[in-house]
Amino acid sequence: MTSLFFRTCLLAASFPLLLACQPNSAELDKNPKTPASVSFNWFEYQGNDEIFAQPLAQGQYQNPIVAGFYPDPSITRKGEDYYMVHSSFSYAPGVPILHSRDLVNWQLVGHILTQPTQLKLDGLGVSRGIFAPTLRYHDGLFYMITTAVDSGGNFLVTATDPAGPWSEPLWLPEIGGIDPDIFFDDDGKVYIAHNDAPDGEPLYEGHRVIRLWEFDLATNTVVTSEGSGRVIVNGGVNIADKPVWIEGPHIYKINSWYYLTCAEGGTSVNHSQVVFRTKNLSEPFVPYANNPILSQRDLDPTRLNPVTSTGHADFIQTAEGDWWSVFLATRPYGDNFYNTGRETYLLPITWQDEWPVILPKGQEVPYRQIKPEINVELTQLSATDALTGNFIWRDEFNQQNIDPRWNFLRGFERSWLQVANDKLDMQASEFDLSSLQQTSFMGHRQQHGRFSLSTSLNLPAQQGISGGLTALQNSAFYYYFAVQKQQDNYRLFVQQVNNGQLSLLAETVIKAQAGQELTLLVNGDKGHISFSYKLADGEQVEVVSNADATLLSTERAGGFVGAMLGLHVRNEPSSNNKQVD
């Protein structure tokens, strides 16, 4: 998964994120709303990035194929249908699963881990939890293997239908480390490869290995006989160069070769993808002489609209016989700041002397590329299903099942969330976003550098609670823009939490009646974020202009997630006397 894992584990453990997600099949409670709640009428997100502005030429597709916080892609195919999964860390439900018929147009169909018996996230920082799943289809069954960091370790689940339900976890205590891969050989044997610590003391910081175990599919057990669990890659391509953070292994058998591809260099600007091969799994893997097969680390970081941090790739062969790769990358807007997290890209694989190459050295990852030649009948996706390009996504809260785009933090308990009369009612939580407990929060990924966000709520009649919009990176870095009833008036405020330090950026008093409609608006422009409001048919009023949005970036906040934009309701102290900064 991510190689910063070991360097940031203590820091990341203090991070909660701004949103998480609810099981696709969960039905919202239709009981009357609780007294201490805020009612939301709708929520709208709109992206407006310049790289998406021009229409695609005939036969082209857009990179990233999935924008925003969808890292560590793994892909499989069943017939003419492609399925892809991603890391979800401490958001619930866990492991989003996407579907496509052409490798280009993807739709979020749900999540794999939708039950509290499958995933425990209590008390975890936002960058813990689920790391780097691998998805495979074999003999009528889908397999997903992953790591629950600080929450049980490595495990495997299965399903006959990728939309679920998925089985309870099969825990694999013999498998250490992170980023497990499952490989089905054509002789019937099954293997698990994964990142792990080396034998003995590491030779240097970032020294890791890839191990290989045999797995008995008949008994669902890891084979622990001699030779199983052996190191197949030590350090990386060349241990003498002290390569760091070898991880994300995937094994394929193509013609007579076994290929092993891994990420190397860490999941930041030095990220790369490397490849090894062997004729027999009992023999050593030999590295490609022209590794890496994908990287952007040697390019000018000041180039226009750079794509960086490429790696953690998976390969897929189409029914037509062509090979393609999905991988993660980022779109920084300057000095490696990006709020959108690690996204998913697609490029064709070319073959050189029977070695796979994703992108020749020195070439930039293209934003526009010729589509795969896939001969299938496509179903036109609606605009609300779009996961890349500039789009508008709006939730009117008029459906029984909550949309799978919504993410929740650390848990599956939803008694604080109710729907009635085309409104979403959120009960105030005793925990704010700085807590590592589940709180009343639901979020949508920030998928664009430039975006607008808005919601309509009814002014609450109760004192002692607040509700509104949040822009969340983790528990130590976020914004909260909310309204609170105070006697006969309403207090509107913007709070910033920067490295755990709370500041009140602005507050204003508005004269209005309980139940009156208030619209909150947030506009993001790369490293800046602004907040405004509008009462009923009144004028839009700006409260904060061009606040620092770099604190929502991974570069500032650390960890492995992108920013979440969403709704939050919390209890407020009886008095609020913080000074405006």
How far is 306 from 366, CA to CA, in rounded Å?
10
Contact 288, 297 (CB under 8 A): no
The answer to whether 247 is a known catalytic residue is yes
How many helices and strands (H and E) does the chain possess?
A: 2, 41
Give me the catalytic one of 49, 72, 343, 572. 72
How many CB atoms lie under 10 A from the CB of residue 503?
A: 14
How far is 108 from 407, CA to CA, in rounded Å?
13
Contact 528, 548 (CB under 8 A): yes
Give the three-state DSSP class for 12.
helix
If we measure between CA atoms, which residue out of 349, 331, 354, 327 comes closest to residue 341? 331
Any idea of the CA torsion for 169, 172, 173, 179, to the nearest 10 degrees?
A: -100
How far is 497 from 445, CA to CA, in rounded Å?
19
How far is 338 from 341, CA to CA, in rounded Å?
6
Give the three-state DSSP class for 209.
strand
Fill in the amino acid letter for 181.
Answer: D
Assess whether the previous peptide bond of 64 is cis (omega < 30° from 0): yes
Residue keyed to tokens 């664009």: 448
What are the backbone angles phi and psi of residue 394, rounded to the nearest 5°?
A: -130, 135
- DSSP bridge pairs for 349: none
- DSSP 8-state assignment for residue 56: P
In this structure, the chain runs to a length of 581
How far is 367 from 306, CA to CA, in rounded Å?
10
Q: What Å distances lie between residue 518 and 140, 425, 429, 455, 458, CA to CA?
A: 51, 15, 21, 8, 6
If we measure between CA atoms, which residue out of 486, 482, 462 comes closest to residue 35? 462
How far is 326 from 63, CA to CA, in rounded Å?
11
Residue 381, judged by CB atoms within 10 A of its CB (0-12, 13-18, 19+), counts as: middle
How far is 274 from 239, CA to CA, in rounded Å?
14
Q: What Å distances lie between residue 117 and 69, 128, 130, 170, 434, CA to CA?
A: 25, 18, 14, 12, 26
If we measure between CA atoms, which residue out of 246, 162, 173, 168 comes closest to residue 203? 246
Give the three-state DSSP class for 51.
helix
- DSSP 8-state assignment for residue 11: H
Any idea of the CA torsion for 75, 76, 77, 82, to the nearest 10 degrees?
A: -30
The answer to whether 102 is a known catalytic residue is no
Rg of the chain (C-alpha set): 24
How far is 507 from 180, CA to CA, in rounded Å?
49
Give me the catalytic one of 179, 247, 314, 425. 247
Contact 184, 190 (CB under 8 A): yes
Query: Which residues participate in catalysis according to the annotation?
Result: 72, 247
